[in-house]
Amino acid sequence: MGFSSKAISKAKRLGIILYALNDHSEFKEFDLKIPFLIEEISPKTMDILYKLSREQIGQHSNIYFNKKGLCVNEISVNDVINQSWKDGTLKFDLVGGEQECDIPHIDPPYNLNFFTYPTLDIVNKMEIKHLKLKMVIQFKYYLCDIRDIMYDKILKNISKEKLTLFIDTTSLPETLKNLVPVSRSYAQEFTGIQYVIKIKNNADVEFNSMSLAYLPEK
């Protein structure tokens, strides 16, 4: 039922935020059309960067990796990148353009596993001085009505007059299936009430080929 005016005044004075829990059926009674802006984030390109010294390149003119790609400190770099993208532990900036990111769960010193013959029967190791993920993030935007989203409960912030929705995320793929995309410029200029959901692509990233390059040491 909310709070009395005295309770609201006292809460503001003490720095307490008041919330009221509303059932979704009550919210639908308002018959409001509220645009819901959805922002989808996914990797456009991903590359693994590693640094070898001039001496290392001279010693190993032929370097091969197995189908799983780079293995550093006995950890598959590909698997770590894919898992950290899915669980949100891969830290990156929500900006356009190219950026370099730290690869989580792999700490220096970086010991690289590699093979000197295509038969991949003898494992060799060498220390590399640099390990980063270079990627370009792409954004897609969609609009729908808030009533098209499956949600369980709503928290109303009494002090700031804001609503927080608890979304049933398992219903999102079905909800988003028939949406018409809008441009980023449209999303940036959109006015009025809007909500943003950031969705990370769960598709595994495959590294089909990797080239060996010399990066001069500083």
**Average per-residue pLDDT for the chain:** 76
Q: Binning pLDDT at 50, 70 and 90, where does residue 211 land?
A: very low
Q: Tell me what pLDDT residue 122 has.
A: 79
Mean pLDDT computed over 130-147 = 84
Alpha-carbon separation of residue 62 from 74, 77, 124, 207, 213 (angstroms): 21, 20, 12, 19, 12
**Residue 106 pLDDT greater than 90, yes or no:** yes
Whole-model pTM? Answer: 0.63
Percent of the chain exceeding pLDDT 90 equals: 9
Asked whether residue 14 is domain-assigned, the answer is: no
Residues 149, 100 within the same domain: no
**Residue 62 pLDDT greater than 80, yes or no:** no
**Residue 67 pLDDT greater than 50, yes or no:** yes
Q: Tell me what pLDDT residue 214 has.
A: 45
Residues 62, 149 within the same domain: no
The 10 Å CB-count burial string (b at 16+, else e) for 65-78 is: beeebbbbbeebbb
Q: Binning pLDDT at 50, 70 and 90, where does residue 110 land?
A: very high
Residues 112, 166 within the same domain: no
pLDDT, tens only, 9-60: 898 899 888 877 655 445 454 456 677 788 888 888 888 888 877 777 777 7
Asked whether residue 10 is domain-assigned, the answer is: no
Q: Tell me what pLDDT residue 169 has.
A: 66
Percent of the chain exceeding pLDDT 70 equals: 67
Sign of CA dihedral 141, 143, 148, 151: positive
**Residue 157 pLDDT greater than 50, yes or no:** yes
Q: What's 11's DSSP letter?
A: H
Top-confidence residue, 122 or 212: 122
Residues 122, 184 within the same domain: no
Q: Are strands 181-182 and 131-145 parallel, antiparallel or unpaired?
A: antiparallel
What's the CA dihedral at 84, 86, 90, 91 to 10 degrees? -170
Residues 120, 181 within the same domain: no
Residues 103, 160 within the same domain: no
Q: Coil, helix or strand for 142?
A: strand
Which residues in the chain belong to E strands, given as ranges? 19-23, 35-50, 71-72, 75-76, 98-101, 110-114, 124-128, 131-145, 151-157, 162-167, 181-182, 196-200
**Residue 184 pLDDT greater than 50, yes or no:** yes
Q: Tell me what pLDDT residue 215 has.
A: 46
Asked whether residue 100 is domain-assigned, the answer is: yes
Residues 170, 159 within the same domain: yes
Which of 213, 74, 43, 209 is CA-nearest to residue 136? 43
**Residue 146 pLDDT greater than 50, yes or no:** yes
Q: Tell me what pLDDT residue 200 has.
A: 61
> Of 139, 158, 179, which residue sits at a domain end?
139
Q: Binning pLDDT at 50, 70 and 90, where does residue 114 land?
A: confident
Residues 123, 73 within the same domain: yes
Contacts of 80 (CB under 8 A, 6+ apart): 103, 104, 105, 106
Residues 46, 100 within the same domain: yes
Which amino acid is residue 129, in one-letter code? Answer: K
Residues 129, 162 within the same domain: no
Asked whether residue 15 is domain-assigned, the answer is: no
Asked whether residue 158 is domain-assigned, the answer is: yes
Mean pLDDT computed over 193-208 = 59
Q: Distance between CA atoms of 198 and 120, rounded to whole angstroms?
A: 41
Counted domains in the chain:
2
Contacts of 109 (CB under 8 A, 6+ apart): 127
pLDDT, tens only, 121-131: 778 888 888 89
Q: Are strands 124-128 and 162-167 parallel, antiparallel or unpaired?
A: unpaired
Q: Which domain holds residue 32?
A: 20-38+140-197
Asked whether residue 206 is domain-assigned, the answer is: no
Q: Distance between CA atoms of 161 and 154, rounded to whole angstroms?
A: 12
Residues 133, 50 within the same domain: yes
Asked whether residue 97 is domain-assigned, the answer is: yes
Residues 95, 27 within the same domain: no
Asked whether residue 207 is domain-assigned, the answer is: no
Which of 43, 51, 89, 92 is CA-nearest to residue 70? 51
